[in-house]
Structures are given as structure tokens and as C-alpha cells.
Structure 1
Amino acid sequence: MPEISDHSEVQPQARLRRLNLVMMLPAVVIGGLVAVAVDAHSWGQGAILGLGVVAGVVAFERWTAGQLQRVAPACLLVAAAVWVYGALMAGSTTAFFGIMMVGTLMVPELPRHRALAATGLVAFVAATGLARAMVTPDALSDVLLPYVVLPAGIVAVVAGLMFPNKRFYDVVADLEVARAREAELAVARERIRFASDLHDIQGHTLHVVKLKIALAQKLLHSDIGRVESELREVYTLVGDTINQTKDLAHAQRRLNLSAELENAKNLFEAAGIRVDVDRESVEIDARAGEWLGQVLRETTTNILRHAQATHVRISLSESGIIIVNDGAQETQLPELRGLAALRERVAGNCGEMTVTQGHGKFRTAASFPRAPADTVPSSGRAR
């Protein structure tokens, strides 16, 4: 698999529509061809009736791609014309196949007046079939069932089924929006935690510095030795604060692997992602555990922000971690700064980190064959 450093963003709606295409398109094509073969009495009739099938198939394919609006008017016109020809001239009882496909796909996609449009569609099919009794010598009783009742009834049933189908896709879209918001909320919580730590470090220091400088001003003409002492303390305090701020900016704080694991599980579950954890019953080296916690934190953030995962598996060993999530596309994506920087830091501290993608999955792995002796891992913030 090619080595990369990012996750894919594949919309669940698009995946569902592609699944419909793979599963339903053969049945649609075969059904349409059978209908044409049964009703066509000549090659010419077969060609014309076949246009209705083509219109239905094209509309279905564009619907699965989310682009039905581009071809809907043309497909609807062709399918309607084929039904008029089939009912009034060719004596075809199955020529409504195209108008059924195109119309029932179009109606739920309309922004408004969908019920009225569905009623109009069924009425058009029924009226066209009923018109056969007016332009042919066929008795009304012979026309009603094959040309009116059955076609209109089938179209009405299919149209009725498409409304719950549309609602299902709307629910999927709503869930996707909620999941994206949850991921952004997780990132926002991390930023708030960073801001709180920064406030704790600098707020206290600045307050103390202010008091000491005020005291030094009062003692400037009466106790110069005390003033020098206060200024030295201010200098030392400011220096310590600068170091603490650098540590915070580079997130050079020790991480607890167990805490990071629990936090990752909670975040994934809140986002509707199933989590499986495989953990060997061995003691994880403390320093390696800090680095593995950093890898887990960064990977968790990237999965929430950039993947469309439904399942994550986390495997922990004595000195390594493997995180595999689904929802990755096949194309290679540009490298994320967070994972790239983390990989460099891991490599610089006697470890190895790899990220690979393929077959719809993204795999992040890190190991420390020899625990770093003098380093503390960086728990970089979410990118």
C-alpha cells in the first residue's frame, strides 16, 4: 500500500448510492429488456420502446451519482413519449417502465410540492392508458386493467416507496452533519484545554510580576538591595514561564496511555464509531507509553476530522500501537502536518511510525524497540 499521511472523506450518501447502483442496475436493465422483448412486435417497435428503458437506466445511474437534475427533463420527456407511443400505437402494456423509473426518481428530489407531483405522475400514466379506449376499437373493459389500473397502480406504489427512501437519505445526511460537528467539537475541546493551560501558566506569572514590580517601585529609593532581589525573582519567574510556555506550545508534557485510550474510545463512540481494543497483558514501558499515547491522540483527532470511519481497531503491545480505521478512499491524499511532524519526532527518539492506506482502510502504526532514554514525547495539538 502507498505510504501517505491522511484520511479520506467519502460521503456515506455517495457510498449508499453506489451500492444501489451495483445491486439494482442489473435488475433494472434486465427488467426493461424483458419488457421490451415481450411487447415489441417488430424491430422498430423494439427500438422505440427501448428508448424508454434507456431513459430509465440513465436517470437511475445519474441518481446514484447525485446528478439526476442534469438529465431529468430530457429523460422524463423521452419516457413520457414512449409511454404515449406504447399505449396508443404499439399496444404495449409495459411501455410505462421508463416513466415509472424517471418519474419516481424525480418526484422525491423536488424541493416542494412533491405530493402534487406524484399525483400528477400517476394521473398522467392513468390518463394515457385510458386514452387508448378513445383512439382504438378496444373495449373500455379491455383497456382498464392492463393500460390503466396496473400501470398507474405500480407507479403509485413505487413512488410511495421512494418517499421513505428519500427520508432515509436525509437521515443519513443529518447523521453525517452531526458526526462532523462532534469531530469539530472534539478539536475545540482540545483547543480550550490548551488555552486553559496557557492561562494557568501565564496568568499567575503576570499577576506575580505585576505585584513584584509595584513593590520594587515603592522600594526604589529606600531599599535598593530589596529592589535588586525582587527584580532577580521577576527575571527568574519570567524565564521559568517562558520555558513552561515553550513546553506547552510543543506539548512536551507526559501523557498517560490508559487515559488517552479511554479518551479516544469516548470520542469515537460519541461520533458513532465502533471501537475494538486489543491489548496484550504485558507491562508497557513508561516512556514508550508516553509516545504511544501521543500517537493515539494525534491519530484520533485525524480520524474524527478527516475520515468517514464506522469502525476503528486499536492494538497495543509492550512497545507498539496499531490503529486501523475504515472509510479511506483509494486515491492518495496530501500529507497532514500533524502526522508528518509526529513521525519525525518519533523517528528522532528511537522509534518508528508508519501510515499506510489501501482497500478502504487507513493504518497508523508506531513502535519503540528501544525506549527513549532522555526524551519526553510531544503531545501535539490537533491539526
Structure 2
Amino acid sequence: MGAVNPFRTWRTLGGGAKLAVYTRLSLDAMVVFFGLYVVVVVMFVDTDVTPPVWLSTVDIVASLLLIAVGVAVLEFRPEFSTAPRRAVPWLLPAATVLGASCWLAGILLTLSGNDEVSAGGAPLVVMSLFVVPLAVLPWLPYHWPVAAAATVVTALVLGGNWWMALFIPFFLMTTLLSAWTVSVARQLDRARITESALQVSEERLRFAQELHDTVGQRLAAMSVKTELARALAARGDDRLDAELADLQSLTRTTVAEMHDVVEGYRTADLATELRSARDLLTSAGVACTVEGDPATVGEPLDEVAAWLVREAATNVIRHSEATRVRITLAPDMVAVANDGVVRDIGRLSGLAGIRRRAEPAGASLVAERDGDRFTVTLTGAS
């Protein structure tokens, strides 16, 4: 399936995929335009020397074949595809043979010495100059040496029109630069996704490290105390009661420390979450604007609003192609809006959890989508 599949809309594509589609269709349009230009000239433009009918027919058929093959090659190139496509291994060799045959036949006909035959060979040469460097030559091994040799030979054959041979390196560079640009855009998309995943992984590692540092040592001590208590119990040692009391105290301390770690992770401060969200979004290349003062939000909405900001920033990174986020703070109201919504949002379980947190405080949470814009608004009890 390709990017032009009618069941996939333009909005579902990322930035790199959109550039790939735009580039491929632009190259397709150039191939079709130049090919049809040659056909129109052969069929409708009167010249001083008219080639034989059979040769004009050959020019038209060859031009149409080159158009079809050139477009097919571009359509199946992985450089411009947005999804895996079935490989057609014979397509590029067939296009190469057809393009080389048209170019060589055009050169030989132009050198025939017969004015009518030479006039019929010129369209084949021109067609080859336009289509082959755009659609075929860039994907061949040693394309630059081949282009240099073809440019020199074509310039010598065309004589006074030698400058037309420069279309070969020009169009070759056009396609190669286009493919390179699409590749860079895709790498940037992958880097953004990877960075977002790293942000989540870092937060998980931070929590795991904090839990390990705080609770891990206590659990190890509890294990040692338990082994010692078992040994004392087996010997009927009077120190068993003291060890069990120590173990009980250690257990209570561990539970309290674990509770503190979890509560520290679960509680949220609005001002802190605003800074974290801005840092996260900025690192992912998303412009974040905060309007208003977090102090104006007030209780009991403050903590729920902090959770909303945290969840919204995570959703922007994970579920959108946003370039801008605006966080608006007002008394009894917090709204987070972002652009770049390129696919169906579906059910966001994180927002459902925040809605449950908001209900005891008499607050309401509303999520709205307008085109590529998504807005979540938390409103306190009036």
C-alpha cells in the first residue's frame, strides 16, 4: 500500500511521509509533463522538415512508454514510499533498457544525414534527456559517470543545441537531492519519536532508581533479619523476640518509605508540572506557551490541573505531530490546546483518570477536537 492509498488521508501522515508523497508526485508530474510535451510537438507542431509517419509514430509510442515506465519506477522507489510495497525487480532494468534504447536510437537517427530521419530522431533524444535522468538514472550504479558520458555524447551530437545536454546532470541532481531531503525528514521524524520514548524511559528509570535506593536496602535487611529469626527459632534462642521486634519495626519503616516514594510520584504541583511540560515539549521541538499564573488556579483545582498538564504533555508527544501547545491558566479553569492531530484520537485512558480525580472536587473535564486542533479544558465548580 502506498501513500496515495485513498483510504489514508493526508492528515494521517507525518512530516517526513508528507514530504515523500509531495516529492514523488512532483517528480511524477515532471515526467508526465515533459513526456506529453514531446508528444504534442511531434503530433501538432509544424516544422520545416517533417519526419516520416512511421518515425513519428515510433516517437509517440516511445514517449508514452517512457512516461509510463518512468512514473512506475518512481512510484515503487522505497525512497519515496510511506509503507512497504511489493518489489518489482524487473521494472528498473526494463526502464533502463527502454531509456537507453530511446537515447541511442535518437542519437543514431540524428546522425543519419537524412534531414527527415534526423527530425524524427530529435524527439527521442529530447525525451531521453528529460525522463531518464529524472526517473531511471538516479537508481543505477555509477550514475554520475554514466551521466557525464551521456552529457558529452549528447552535446556533441546536438551541435548548436549542445546546452540541452545539461538537462541530464541537472535532472539527475534534482532527483538525488529530493531523495536525500526526504531521507533527512524521515530521520528527523524517527529522532522525535525516539526522543519521546527516551523521555518516558528516563522517567521510569528515575522512579525505579528512587524505589531501589529507598526500599531496596530495607528489603535486603529484612531478608537478613528473617533468616536470623528462623535460626534463633530453631535453636529456641531467647533473642528471637527482640529480632522479631526489629523486623516488625523495619517492615513498618519500609512501608512508610515506600509510601513516601509513591506519594511523591503520584502527587503533582501545578507550577512544577508546567516547568516539566515546557521542558519536555521544547526538547521534542514543540513550542509551548503558558498564559496566566498558576497561583490563580487555586484549590481544590490545583492538583488536578497539575495532573492534566502532565498527561496533556505526554499525549502531545505520543499521539500528535504538534508544533505548538498553549496552556491557559485562569481562576477555576485550565485549558491545554495543541495542533498537529493527524489521526483519530480514540479513548485516552489518562484523561479518563483525570476526570475521575476531578469529580470529587466538583470539577469537569471536556476534550474537544476541531480539525487538527485538540483542546482539553478543566473547569472548577461554579
Q: How does 1:2-41 map to 2 (within 5 A)?
A: 10-20=13-23, 26=29, 29-40=32-43
**Structure 1 counterpart SS, 2:331:** coil
Q: How does 1:118-157 map to 2 (within 5 A)?
A: 118-124=144-150, 127=153, 143-146=158-161, 149-157=162-170
Q: 1:181 is matched by which residue type in structure 2?
A: T
User: Post-superposition shift, 1:271?
Assistant: 2.2
Conserved? CA contact 1:212–1:231, under 8 Å: yes
User: Post-superposition shift, 1:186?
Assistant: 0.8
Conserved? CA contact 1:40–1:49, under 8 Å: no
User: Post-superposition shift, 1:195?
Assistant: 1.0
CA distance in 2, matches of 1:129, 1:175: 41
CA distance in 1, matches of 2:86, 2:153: 26
User: Post-superposition shift, 1:303?
Assistant: 2.9
User: Post-superposition shift, 1:21?
Assistant: 5.0
**Structure 1 counterpart SS, 2:268:** coil
Conserved? CA contact 1:280–1:318, under 8 Å: no
Match of 1:283 among 296, 303, 316: 296
Q: Does 1:49 align with 2:63?
A: yes
User: Post-superposition shift, 1:207?
Assistant: 6.1
**Structure 2 counterpart SS, 1:259:** helix
Query: Which moves more between the two structures, 166-175 or 341-350?
Result: 341-350
CA distance in 2, matches of 1:289, 1:266: 20
Q: Does 1:296 align with 2:314?
A: no
Conserved? CA contact 1:264–1:300, under 8 Å: yes
Conserved? CA contact 1:82–1:95, under 8 Å: yes
CA distance in 2, matches of 1:188, 1:180: 12
Cα deviation, 1:109-129, whole Å, max 9, x if unaligned, reads: 56xx4xx22321453466578
Q: 1:32 is matched by which residue type in structure 2?
A: G
**Structure 2 counterpart SS, 1:370:** coil
- C-alpha change, 1:154 and 1:306, in structure 2 (3 Å) is same
Alpha-carbon RMSD: 4.2
Q: 2:40 is matched by which residue type in structure 1?
A: A
Q: How does 1:95-110 map to 2 (within 5 A)?
A: 95-97=125-127, 100-109=130-139
CA distance in 2, matches of 1:277, 1:25: 44
Gaps of 5+ in 2: 1-10, 45-52, 110-116
Partner of 2:5: none
Cα deviation, 1:124-149, whole Å, max 9, x if unaligned, reads: 4665786xxxxxxxxx6xx4344xx3
User: Post-superposition shift, 1:16?
Assistant: 0.8
Partner of 1:133: none
Partner of 2:206: 193
User: Post-superposition shift, 1:365?
Assistant: 0.5
**Structure 2 counterpart SS, 1:285:** coil
- C-alpha change, 1:207 and 1:54, in structure 2 (3 Å) is closer
Partner of 1:367: 378
CA distance in 2, matches of 1:205, 1:228: 15
Partner of 1:237: 253
Q: 1:92 is matched by which residue type in structure 2?
A: A
- C-alpha change, 1:369 and 1:343, in structure 2 (3 Å) is closer
Q: Does 1:158 align with 2:184?
A: no
**Structure 2 counterpart SS, 1:91:** helix
Partner of 2:121: 91
- C-alpha change, 1:314 and 1:206, in structure 2 (3 Å) is same
**Structure 2 counterpart SS, 1:365:** strand
Aligned length: 342
Q: 1:118 is matched by which residue type in structure 2?
A: W
Conserved? CA contact 1:275–1:313, under 8 Å: yes
Normalised by the length of structure 1, the TM-score is: 0.69
